[in-house]
Amino acid sequence: MSKVKLEQQVPRNALVWIILALFLLVAPHVQRVPIWVLLVFAAAVVWRIMVYRGVWSFPRWPVKMGLIIAAFAGIMFSFRSLIGLEPTVALLLTAFALKLLELAERKDAYVLLFLGYFVILTVFLFSQDILIVLLCLFNTVIVTAALVALHRPGEHRFTFRPLRLASVMLAQSIPLMLVLFFLFPRIGPLWTVPIKSQAARTGMSDFMKPGDVSRLSRSGEVAFRVQFEGAVPAQDQLYWRGLVMSRLRGGAWSSLSHFAAPPDERRPSEPELVGEPLRYSVIMEPTQQHWIYSLRYGRSRDSGVVSAADYRLYRMSEIEDDYLYEVQTWPEAVLEPEISDWRRKVELRLPPDDNPRAMALAQQIASEAGDSREIVEQVLALFTEQPFGYTLSPPLLPERDPIDAFLFDTRWGFCEHYASAFVILMRAAGIPARVVAGYQGGEINPVNGTVIVHQFDAHAWAEVWHEGEGWVRVDPTAAVAPERIELGLEQALAEEGSFLADSPLSPLRFRGVNWVNQLRLRYDALTYRWQSWVTGFDSDRQYQLLTNWFGEFSARKFALVLLGAGLLVFAPVVITLLLQRKTVQLREMDKLYLRFCERLEKFGVARAAGEGPAQYGRRASAQLPRLEEQIGDVTNIYLGLAYAPADEEAAALKRLAQAIRRVN
Amino acid sequence: MEAATGTGSEAGFRARLRQRFRKWVNRRIPPSRSVTLDQKRLFIFPSGVGFFFVLCLFVMLLAAINFQNNLSYGLTFLLATLFVLAVLHTFANLSGLHIQAVRARPAFPGQQTEFELQVSRVKQREHFAVYFRFAEGSSARLNLVTEDSGRITLLAPVEKRGWHNPGRLRIESTYPLGLVRCWTWIDLDLHALVYPRPLASAELPGLATDQPDGAAIPVPGSDDFYGFRDYRAGDSLRQIYWKGLARGDKVQTKQYTAYADRSVWLDWEMFPGLAQEQRLSHLCFWALEFDRQGQEYGLRLPDQSIVPDVGERHREQVLQALALYGIDR
């Protein structure tokens, strides 16, 4: 330490705070980094403590170089890449741990702690959950406390004192932070950034094979939350359209891409709007996908949201964070009363020679029935009358002619089986039809009236096209298991007991326990508020907010608002700091001396303004000769005290008090 | 040649600039024996670390923009505000400190003088890591946490005889976050006395006795002990009668015959033909030598004389006369 300058020393207390911060910062990332990164952390801390105790020394530079190369190699080995968010975070954390081995001077500590703030930021790229954010806020306080401790030289023992100032300063920062948060212009990304997460995506994928939706049904995670402006429609009206799948290939359904359609088919035809629309806002959890959910027929005015030709909503950029959008829906609107030849061809296309028995059945029904509506009814009647069953764990279907096997042999399936079989039968019967995937229903939260749509509400149904009526929703699952639509999945699977089979600890499983359920719903309401105000805040929301508050918007107004808010926020802090205990604290010796002056005043010798103690003493002695000795003593002791060494001060004060008592 | 004049004028410009700045500081913070730091006297600016922090914030802002991540925006703004708040807190750490000059210790050239300052707080507020430094010299650090005042000692090297002014005292602090530096230069009107550099000469060319016409007397051994007298402040520690003190008697000083009857004069005229500084240096050497030996001696300079005496106070008087000879404050 002798080589380090006085100002550059790291106080021992600060070292403890830094190590504490190190551990807390890695905590929210534990699940994302390889185990060896954590071991590097532990090893670095042990090494640094040994250095601190003087047992080991700091690593020399060849060792440090070796460690850095090893870290890069380790990341490469664990992730097979250095690019991407997870490898970057792992690299950051490793660098963070290794920097501790270099921590000798204060400037190293700055690098470490500023890196720490950055580590906190990376947590937000993965999760924006309130509890995680609270942990991160706490970590911010700890890092700041370490920074404060770094500047409190001479604190050799661990104390919590820096924590107080750090908390106070951060608390004082919050008002202006909020102002900046709501006013700072939200501009788009400056350059493309690596895909956020390599982790498995939950939610719908853009193609559907039998089994895909039932996989989702095992998850209790929230897919999105909806807040209606008026009353919530009935459960059996809550069909959240996400994907419209017109193409069947290799047994899997998928959407048409934008460019698969001829140019004049790429935009949806404007339907005639009937009646008052339903208005609602949706906050989606990140999906890393483009499609967004709405009731039909939905429109959104949010920037970046477009309608695809099959009337689904689509966002230009992937949904990587909580995403808030507003929708208007006209449930009665007639979609595409006239169908184009191209569209008809696409919605009738079937792979040749597949499922011969189903084809034969469909053609038979079609030849017997009068019109398309009758064909739909007959097929639905088939599902109701024949012994079809609804299950989350259907028997495996063969690769070849799976629909034949499902319709005539197994007859147990989940929504995707019914939707898929139904659409194939419709197409075989000559009716344009397609599969729609999305969510059905949702849980109404009595706390704030939002509709919570869970992953297990994932559903698939069909749309068929009728002459003059356009596209009409048909849900074949409802024919087999009406309770699925009216009461939700849990009731539909009550006998099977497979609801949330993969999530034994989900709070949703404890809906029977009242207080658990209350707690869950309250937390969910809080999450909704959090998402609508914080995590889902974007340029659209910002524009709305600002025009609501300040009317039409201009750059000048913006600057004035920012300035005014800044002043408003800082005024209290400045005032408290400057006026803090404005009263001057008198030193003990001055208090005693003033008492002495009061005594002399009683004898008729008041001290004049600006009169020094020596001069006053001389004058008082001349006027009160009988007290000359006492006055001299007091004056001498008082004057002596001004230069008394600290260890003699107490004794001198005592003598001063005694001398003053003798003045009477 | 032209290049040389160019740099010369540039240096001149710099010097002028520095002088103007010094003038401005002098007007703003005039010399005073005690100073209370307030907004008039304190300057504040981001430190190097502060600029590094701003760079980090910028990177964080880029991340927030590129990932469109609101919480990252939030954290960035929180830290940016923290930075602004650090200005106020760092200012508060210095504001309200009262600095008072206590004393300046005299020294010989080549040594370090010691300046002692008393720092007290006006408001009941914690002050941490306040650094004090003269342009040349040691620095000192002070924390005021529980106690209301503290003493600090600063060392500064001295070279020239006379009054040494260490220049402005720089007081600075970056507490609590190190992001901003708050500082001031105050002039405490401090002057340390610098004695002449002692210069040995083989022997004194001539010794004068009390008697104006007395002949030179060789330097006596001055060992002829003749009695005790009560200790007087300023007596040399060498002459204290330690044995008696150990026995529990009062402090007494041993007296030698030399004190009583053989006092010597150190005279300016003893070194004819030498330059002023050399004369002073020799006189200084002999004054110290006599003091070391406990010999009573006096000093005669062209403009003043100090009657023979002995002891610390006397020595200081003599040395001061030598230090300030020919110098007006």
Q: Return the number of CB contacts < 8 Å for A and B.
A: 166
Terminal Cα distance for chain B, rounded: 41
- Decide if B2 is inside a domain: no
Residue A663 and residue A630 in contact, taking contact as beta carbons nearer than 8 Å: yes
Check CB contact under 8 Å for B178 and A177: no
> Cβ contact (<8 Å) for A184 and B77?
yes
Shortest CA gap A640–chain B (Å):
12
Give the tokens for residue B184: 């001031």
| Res A2: pLDDT | 39
Q: Which of helix, strand or coil describes residue A53?
A: coil
CA dihedral B245, B248, B250, B254 (to 10 degrees): -30
Q: Do B91 and A584 touch (CB under 8 A)?
A: no
pLDDT at position A579, please? Answer: 63
Residues of A in contact with B143 (CB under 8 A): 152-154
Dist CA A444 CA A517 (whole Å): 13
Report pLDDT digits (tens) over A439-492: 998 899 998 899 999 988 889 999 999 988 899 999 998 888 888 877 777 777
Last residue of a domain, one of B257, B274, B303: B257
- C-alpha A238/C-alpha A543 separation (Å) is 30
B160 and B190 share a domain?
Answer: yes
B292 and B245 co-located in one domain: no
| pLDDT beyond 70 at B215 | no
The residue of chain B with its CA nearest to that of A132 is B71
Asked if residue B215 is part of any domain, the answer here is no
Shared-domain flag, residues B272 and B233: no
Q: Which of A151, A190, A570 sits opposite B65 (nearest CB)?
A: A190
- The alpha-carbon gap from B265 to the nearest alpha carbon of chain A, in Å, equals 36
Distance CA A422, CA A253 (A): 13
Contact criterion met (CB < 8 Å) for B66 and A7? no
pLDDT tens-digit readout, A115-157: 999 999 999 988 888 999 999 999 999 999 999 999 888 777 8
Contacts of B67 in chain A (CB under 8 A): 125, 189, 193, 196, 320-321
Q: Does the structure show a pLDDT above 80 at A293?
A: yes
**Furthest CA-CA distance within chain A:** 137
Q: Is B186 within a domain?
A: yes
pLDDT of residue A325: 92
Strand, coil or helix: A501 = coil
Is B248 contained in some domain? yes
Residue B67 in any domain: the answer is yes
Hey, what are B132's tokens?
A: 């004090």
Residue that the structure tokens 């084809």 belong to: A359
CB spacing of B80 vs A180 below 8 angstroms = yes
* Interchain proximity B66–A190, CB inside 8 Å: yes
The catalytic site residues of A sit at: 415, 459, 475
CA distance, residue B327 to nearest chain A CA (Å): 29
Mean pLDDT, rounded, for B229-244: 72
On whether the CB atoms of residues B147 and B137 are closer than 8 A, the answer is no
The answer to the question of residue B182 being in a domain is: yes
| DSSP secondary structure of A556-567 | HHHHHHHHHHHH
SS in 3 state form for A243-287?
A: EEECEEECCEEECCCHHHCCHHHCCCCCCCCCCCCEEEEEEECCC
DSSP A296: S
A536 contacts on B by Cβ (under 8 Å): 70
A134: nearest CA in chain B? B71
ipTM of the prediction: 0.76
Which residues of B are less than 8 Å from A118 in CB distance?
Answer: 56, 59-60
Label residues A322-349 b or e (16+ Cβ within 10 Å = b).
bbbbbbbbbbebbbbeebeeebeebbbe
Express each pLDDT in A330-371 by its tens digit: 988 888 888 889 999 999 999 888 889 999 999 999 898 888
Cα separation, A105 vs B145, in Å, equals: 24
CA torsion B153-B158-B161-B163 (nearest 10°) is -40
CB contact under 8 A, B68 and A189: yes
Of B56, B123, B176, the CB nearest to A148: B176
Show residues of chain A in contact with B80, CB under 8 Å: 177, 180
- B109 within domain boundaries: yes
Structural domains of chain B, count: 3
Closest to A211 (Cα-Cα) out of A414, A480, A499: A414
Does B170 share its domain with B273?
Answer: no
What is the sign of the dihedral through the CA atoms of B280, B282, B285 and B287? Answer: negative
Do B39 and B168 share a domain, yes or no? yes
Task: With beta carbons under 8 A apart, name residues in chain B contacting A107.
Answer: 49
Domain that holds residue B230: 224-257
What SS3 class is residue A308? coil
CB-based contact A114 B53, cutoff 8 Å: yes
Tell me if A534 and B77 make a contact (CB, 8 A cut-off). Answer: no
DSSP class per residue in B170-236? EEEE-TTTSSEEEEEEE-----EEEPPPP---SS-S--B-SSTTPPP-PPP----EEEEEE--TT--
Alpha-carbon distance B49 to nearest alpha carbon in chain A (angstroms): 8
Report how far Cα B35 is from the mean position of its chain's Cα atoms: 17
For residues B133 and B72, state if they share a domain. yes
Q: Which of B51, B55, B77 is best to mutate for the A interface (most A CBs within 10 A)?
A: B77
Q: If pLDDT is split at 50, 70 and 90, which confidence band does A240 have?
A: very high
Q: What does the pLDDT look like over A120-130, one tens digit per residue?
A: 999 998 888 89
- Whether B144 and B236 map to the same domain: the answer is no
* B138 and B274 co-located in one domain: no
Residue A463: the pLDDT is: 94
Query: Which two three-digit tokens encode residue A213?
Result: 């939706």
Residue numbers in A near B85 (CB within 8 A): 169, 172-173, 573
Assigned domain for B86 exists: yes
Of B74, B121, B128, the CB nearest to A151: B128
Strand pairing report for A323-329 and A298-299: antiparallel
d(CA B245, CA B252): 8
Q: Do B85 and B167 sit in the same domain of this protein?
A: yes
Q: Are residues B138 and B84 in the same domain?
A: yes
Q: Are residues B290 and B309 in the same domain?
A: yes
Q: Which of B47, B56, B67 would you mutate first to test chain A, the one with the most A CBs within 10 A? A: B67
Beta strands in A450-561 (DSSP E): 451-454, 458-466, 470-474
Question: Is the same domain home to B40 and B137?
Answer: yes
Contact assessment for residue A113 and residue A146, using Cβ atoms and an 8 Å cutoff: yes
CB contact under 8 A, B141 and A133: no
Radius of gyration of chain B from Cα atoms? 29
Question: Which among A16-30, B26-40, B256-270 has the top mean pLDDT?
Answer: A16-30
With 0.90 as the threshold, say if the pTM is over it: no
* Length of chain A (residues): 664
B30 φ/ψ angles, rounded to the nearest 5 degrees: -70, 155
Yes or no, beta carbons of B70 and A128 under 8 Å apart: yes
Cis omega (within 30 of 0) for bond into B109: no
Q: Please report how many Cα atoms fall inside a 13 Å half-sphere around the Cα of residue A140, on the Cβ side.
A: 29
Structure tokens at B231: 């200790």
- pLDDT tens column, B90-134: 998 988 888 888 888 888 888 888 888 888 888 878 888 899 988
